[in-house]
Amino acid sequence: MSTRDLDVLVVGDANPDLVLRGDVVPRFGQAEQLLSRADLVLGGSAAITAAGCARLGLRTALLARVGDDVFGTVTRGWLADRGVALYSPRPGGAQPTGLSVVLSAPDDRAILTLPGTIPTLSPDDVTDELLRRTRHLHVASVFLQPRLADGLADVLARARAAGIGTSLDTNWDPAERWTGIRDLLAQVDVFLPNTAELLAVTGADDPESAAKSLVTAGTTVVLKDGARGGRAWAVDGECAAPIVPVDLVDTTGAGDSFNAGFLAARLAGAPLDEAVAWAAAAGSLSTRAAGGTAAQATPDEIRAALRAG
């Protein structure tokens, strides 16, 4: 067996998401509100991306810290059910596993997160042994993991020096400072932001100029463009792909499934335009059920959706 027995190693966050739908805009003053649905599902950008990669046939591992509590137990079970190998260094102390409460409205959502074990992941956890086993390294949610972020440039440099592809999905910065990301992108092959994240990282006024400022430094930018689908800019050109029409239930984790679709296509050797189409289709199809993983697409579903489009 090749020492590279993994297609993708995802590094980042894993936790349960409690997704609430219905009358979700809080009213204080001890007002009681009635929901239409509540689902406890696998959450964390890294975990959802890893689950999507496994669903699309990639040999996938996730490096994330979860606790020894009930939320850690269910998180481990969900990942195992989805074919994701979890590497979870034991956190120090008695931190609880992270938890997010997602207030999901038809056209938007708010997320309340208890960090718990999420910030305890460190650069040393990304060992050379793990890197030697994988073809591609994807990192997510760096602003929730300051210890990891402090040494992430070295981790990415080690990966690239070993011939491993690299990609980054920062997710939103709760402090809105966006510190250090431009330096990290010097070691990243593919940056996978949404529009708000792309503009915040670059300080630009529009996605086109923002993306092109990063491409000149050698990073391919693949943009989650909301209802418009996906766009990409690379040194040899740009492309776009529309969403796939679906009966939308919940957009939680759609961007993470977008990541998985893109990675699966690229690791199979697809050109950039085809990979962006896979990404847009994977993100769209994931919105057919509550949470980020219940409706993640198979390769056959993506191919059928693209043929129908």
How buried is residue 199: exposed, middle or buried, by Cβ count under 10 Å (0-12/13-18/19+)? Answer: middle
Q: Determine the pLDDT at residue 109.
A: 82
Is the pLDDT confidence value at 228 over 90? yes
Confidence of residue 74 (pLDDT cuts 50, 70, 90): very high
Q: Identify the three-state secondary structure at position 294.
A: coil
The alpha helices in 11-151, defined as continuous H runs, are 45-55, 70-81, 128-132, 146-150
Is the pLDDT confidence value at 138 over 60? yes
Report, as an integer, the average pLDDT of 265-293. 96
Report pTM. 0.95
Report, as an integer, the average pLDDT of 29-36. 95
Q: Kindly list the structural domains of the chain, giving each domain's residue range(s) and its CATH number in brackets, ordered by start.
A: 6-14+45-99+117-308 (3.40.1190.20)
Is the pLDDT confidence value at 99 over 60? yes
Q: Determine the pLDDT at residue 90.
A: 79
Is the pLDDT confidence value at 15 over 50? yes
Q: Determine the pLDDT at residue 285.
A: 98
Q: Tell me what percent of the residues of the chain surpass a pLDDT of 90.
A: 89
Confidence of residue 92 (pLDDT cuts 50, 70, 90): low
Q: φ and ψ at 5, to 5 degrees?
A: -90, 5
β-strand partners of 21: 37, 104
Confidence of residue 107 (pLDDT cuts 50, 70, 90): confident
Tell me which residue of 104, 91, 181, 200 sits closest to 141, measured CA to CA. Answer: 181
Is the pLDDT confidence value at 1 over 50? no
Confidence of residue 237 (pLDDT cuts 50, 70, 90): very high
Report, as an integer, the average pLDDT of 56-61. 98
Q: Beta strand pairing status for 220-224 and 6-11?
A: unpaired
Q: Determine the pLDDT at residue 2.
A: 52
Report, as an integer, the average pLDDT of 264-272. 98
Q: Which residue has the tokens 């207030």?
A: 103
